[in-house]
């Protein structure tokens, strides 16, 4: 009897995008998934590596913005470039046009190389950058604004007004929740995160099994 054709393996593992506004608890949640053995592919870490000394984004950034936004020690003069793009939306779009495709390409390569049943793509600006289609599922970490402001203040010493400005520049809570397949409620204490992560991990293992 002729052998049944074997199904081609999926091109990449099942992918869950993790997002949330500043101070919502994305890093805390990502750490808990990592503890369970899940690979976390972090857009911020990739962006940082691309713009660190020797990073692949430095040459195109130099070409677009001039050598004054580079720095021998840190790769990129982040405060100066941040100021430039904050004041100038066209400059911001130029920077994003350089960085976003490079970040996306590296995330996809890391995902394709991952051996786990599923991987987490931590993308803080997932909704803002219209990348919700990058993963199979979107997980949003949600917490009330007042708590986020207090937690970011404790974490990095930012004044409430500064955190509010960042929150205002990001997607609204409603926009993010509209994109969510799953939501982790981080209005409680840290201990309340663990059972929510454990339940989602079980669900993602099931979904990843069906994906194969």
> Applying CB under 6 A, which residues contact ligand ADP?
20, 22-28, 151-152, 155, 186, 189-190
Task: Name which of 119 and 152 has its Cβ closer to ligand ADP.
Answer: 152
Task: Name which of 27 and 51 has its Cβ closer to ligand ADP.
Answer: 27
* C-alpha Rg value of the chain to the nearest Å: 19
Q: What is the smallest separation between the CB atom of 194 and ligand ADP, expressed in angstroms? A: 10
Q: Give CA–CA dist 201/195, Å, rounded.
A: 10
Is residue 141 a contact partner of residue 29, using CB atoms and an 8 Å limit?
Answer: yes
β-pair partners for 15: 119
Task: Name which of 23 and 75 has its Cβ closer to ligand ADP.
Answer: 23
Q: What is the smallest separation between the CB atom of 103 and ligand ADP, expressed in angstroms? A: 17
Tokens standing for residue 84: 């430039």
Task: Name which of 28 and 183 has its Cβ closer to ligand ADP.
Answer: 28
Q: What is the smallest separation between the CB atom of 174 and ligand ADP, expressed in angstroms? A: 18
Q: What is the smallest separation between the CB atom of 62 and ligand ADP, expressed in angstroms? A: 30
Ramachandran sector of residue 152 (left: φ over 0; alpha: ψ -120 to 50; beta: rest): alpha
β-pair partners for 141: 184
Instruction: State the DSSP string of 59-112.
Output: HHHHHHH-GGGEETTTEE-HHHHHHHHHH-HHHHHHHHHHHHHHHHHHHHHHHH
Place of tokens 């593992």: 13
Task: Name which of 27 and 131 has its Cβ closer to ligand ADP.
Answer: 27
Q: What is the smallest separation between the CB atom of 94 and ligand ADP, expressed in angstroms? A: 26
């Amino acid at each position: 009897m002729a052998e049944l054709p074997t199904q081609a393996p999926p091109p990449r593992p099942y992918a869950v995008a993790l997002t949330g506004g500043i101070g919502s608890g994305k890093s805390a949640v990502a750490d808990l998934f990592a503890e369970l053995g899940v690979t976390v592919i972090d857009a911020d870490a990739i962006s940082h590596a691309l713009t660190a000394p020797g990073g692949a984004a430095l040459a195109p950034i130099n070409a677009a913005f001039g050598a004054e936004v580079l720095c021998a020690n840190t790769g990129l003069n982040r405060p100066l470039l941040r100021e430039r793009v904050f004041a100038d939306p066209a400059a911001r779009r130029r920077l994003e046009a350089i960085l976003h495709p490079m970040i996306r390409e590296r995330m996809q390569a890391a995902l394709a190389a991952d051996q786990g049943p599923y991987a987490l793509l931590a993308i803080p600006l997932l909704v803002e950058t219209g990348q919700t289609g990058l993963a199979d599922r979107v997980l949003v970490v949600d917490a009330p604004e007042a708590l986020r402001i207090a937690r970011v203040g404790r974490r990095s010493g930012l004044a409430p007004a500064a955190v509010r400005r960042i929150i205002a520049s990001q997607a609204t809570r409603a926009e993010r929740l509209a994109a969510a397949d799953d939501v982790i409620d981080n209005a409680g204490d840290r201990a309340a995160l663990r059972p929510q992560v454990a339940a989602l991990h079980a669900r993602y293992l099931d979904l990843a099994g069906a994906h194969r």
